[in-house]
Amino acid sequence: MSSVESAESVEEFRAEFRGWLRAHLTGRFADLKGRGGPGREHEAFAGRLAWERHMAEHGWTCVGRPVDYGGRGASTAQQVAFHEEYALADAPARVNHIGEQLLGPTLIDHGTDEQKRRFLPPIRAVEELWCQGYSEPDAGSDLAGVRTRAALHDGRWTVDGQKTWTSLARANGAPVDPLVADRLARAWTGLQAMRATALRPGAAPSMAKLYCARWHRDLGELAMDVCGAASLTAAGAHGDPYELDDWQRLFLFSRADTLYAGSDEIQRNIVAERILGLPKEVRA
């Protein structure tokens, strides 16, 4: 504790935050208590994000930042009190601790004014979440061996390389790949088409089954492509190393869609013979 910082100021800070937590970790946030701890980072994510934004609105994110950068200028002892009270309240695991505790302080110490202006406010407001991409398949401890490079072409940076072990990166960038984005749009359009068709009077069940089976099978393949390399390993969302996640299950189950309840070939026979009135298939 610094000489200018009294024990009272730490206890005042602690009491203020404890009171705030008691008043606010209630109602729609009450169920979040204890959620999202180590190994459960994906738990109740949307709720935890809303909670952290609520903290930001009330000035309880980035408390250790200097006031000039939007923080409370909390001392180390006050920050310890903050974290102790947070844990005692059984408040949910934070979602932007990497931005708040790693990137933010680094930028304050080493960033340009432009970088500070651009990146510090959305970290504090929990509008932009951060992860850190240091490790590569051949460079973990040996960070000097990282191979990822950025090159400037026509005013745009191209980053080339492979990262691994990236905590809190739920997203792998696949949805912004134009080809994947196109397939996602088609999947959504297909769903709308199925809805509209199902509501049409006289809709033919065989046509619906054919379309739905193909659509669902394609969705499973799309899910695997969006998940990327992670889809190849069985490391379930709940910690069991042999457990499949929801997308892997969807993919495997959707392989059966064109079989159960009458295979595609049978549905096509029905459409051909009963709807289009084509000659019956020759039976052996």
- Contacts with ligand FAD by CB under 6 A lie at 131-135, 140-142, 165-167
Name the residue nearer to ligand FAD (CB basis): 88 or 230.
Answer: 230
Given the complex with ligand FAD, which of 73 and 137 has the nearer CB atom?
A: 137
Pick 102 or 181: Cβ nearer ligand FAD: 102
- Using the minimum distance from each CB to ligand FAD, give the nearer residue, 166 or 263: 166
Work out how close the CB of 232 gets to ligand FAD at its nearest, in angstroms, rounded to a whole number: 19
Shortest Cβ distance from residue 131 to ligand FAD (Å)?
6
Q: In this complex, which beta carbon is closest to ligand FAD, that of residue 142 or of residue 154? A: 142
In the complex, the smallest distance separating the C-beta of residue 11 from ligand FAD, rounded to whole angstroms, is 35
- Using CB atoms, what's the residue nearest to ligand FAD? 140
3-state secondary structure string across the chain: CCCCCCHHHHHHHHHHHHHHHHHHCCHHHHHHCCCCCCCCCCCCHHHHHHHHHHHHHCCCCCCCCCHHHCCCCCCHHHHHHHHHHHHHCCCCCCCCHHHHHHHHHHHHHHCCHHHHHHHHHHHHCCCCCCCCCCCECCECCCHHHCCCEEEEECCEEEEECCCCCCCCCCCCCHHHCHHHHHHHHHHHHHHHHHHHHHHCCCCCHHHHHHHHHHHHHHHHHHHHHHHHHHHHCCCCCCCCCCCCCHHHHHHHHHCCCCCCCCCHHHHHHHHHHHHCCCCCCCCC
As measured in angstroms, the least distance from the Cβ of 16 to ligand FAD is: 32
Least separation in angstroms between CB 166 and ligand FAD: 5
Rounded to the nearest whole angstrom, what is the least distance from the CB of residue 138 to ligand FAD in the complex? 8
Beta carbon nearer to ligand FAD, 100 or 257: 100
